[in-house]
Amino acid sequence: MKVLVSNIMMLNEQARFDAVLREKGIEPIWPEVNQFMGEAQCMEFAGQIDGWLAGDDRITDAVLEAFLPRLKVISKWGTGLDSIDLEAAKRRGVPVCNSPGAFRDAVGEYAIGLLLTATRRLARTDRMIRQAGWPKGRFPGMAGRTMGVIGYGAIGQGVGQRARGLGMEVIAHDPYMSTAPDGTQLVSFPELLAQADVICLCCNQTAENYHLINADALEHARDGVVVVNVARGGLIDEAALVAGLQSGKVGAAALDVFETEPLPQDHPLLQFENVAVSSHNANSTIEAIEYVHANTLENLFKHLTA
């Protein structure tokens, strides 16, 4: 059996997982990947594999058709499945597995860390001290403010839990929920915009919510709103966010994801001291990563040996 390994996390430890797979009698295929494989690169491996340890690869209906009848399973590293045509996979009988809930704590912690980095200028203070400065700033605190979480699954609930630890009120918007498991008040998107001092994006990206945070949404948000994104870059219209930062409508932004990754060095978001940026790495705890490694392999083996 042959398995395509295209997720960045296992590619970064190729020797380790090459050995694990070969011990199971599986021959791994290791492509060169820049973040994820587009449809054309995926097609290069059509008909050659029995299983796929996938990353954020663009696995479309056309890709699935080309990989059949040989492909038995797609085991996605991580939680998000928005890059895979799930309806097509179901229709064609290809099981798609992931690790739901695995990053609740890791991403919840990171979202709050990014929020404080942006609002309290932590990175700037660090840089200035290293350059012999000793800055004394005055910045907004979070206690008593309202955190509006968009997408209230495991990660959103993890953010909400930690926001309450800062003394924040928490509201959430999730079109797939009628009640929140932890009792958080669910509101409409317009209500969230009107009430939230901080908007934290924790949802999957879909065709319906692409550029959810755009110029119109920011116009209806509170003055000085802080935007946090630990979900997907396409949820934010970056040009509108830049305009909001320039006008002061947006008080700060904390961003782990972007429409183009890696983020170009000339991107206008990098000109703002009240913007904290990160490298799509909010899941970066040892515990979470090792759990997902193990679960992703288990999902693969379960379907290949069935």
Q: Tell me what pLDDT residue 282 has.
A: 96
Contact of 83 with 63, CB cutoff 8 Å? no
User: Per the confidence metrics, is the pTM higher than 0.85?
Assistant: yes
Domains of the chain: 2-99+286-304 (3.40.50.720), 104-277 (3.40.50.720)
What is residue 306's predicted lDDT score, i.e. its pLDDT? 66
**Region of residue 260 (left: phi > 0; alpha: psi -120 to 50; beta: else):** beta
pLDDT at 243 over 80: yes
Q: Which residues are catalytic?
A: 232, 261, 280
151 pLDDT above the threshold of 90: yes
Question: Is residue 222 within 8 Å of 194, Cβ to Cβ?
Answer: yes
Q: What is the mean pLDDT of the chain?
A: 97
Q: Take residue 84 and report the two structure tokens written for it.
A: 């895979």
Facing residues of 84 across strands? 59
Q: Average pLDDT in the 41-65 region?
A: 98
The model's pLDDT over 172-194, given as tens digits with 9 standing for 90+, comes to 999 999 999 999 999 999 999 99
Question: What is the percent of the chain where pLDDT is above 90?
Answer: 98
Model confidence at 100: pLDDT above 90? yes
- Listed in sequence order, the DSSP H helices in the chain are 8-11, 14-23, 39-43, 61-67, 86-91, 104-119, 122-130, 154-165, 189-195, 215-220, 238-247, 286-304
Which run of H or of E encompasses 148? strand 146-150
Q: What is the mean pLDDT of residues 119-139?
A: 96
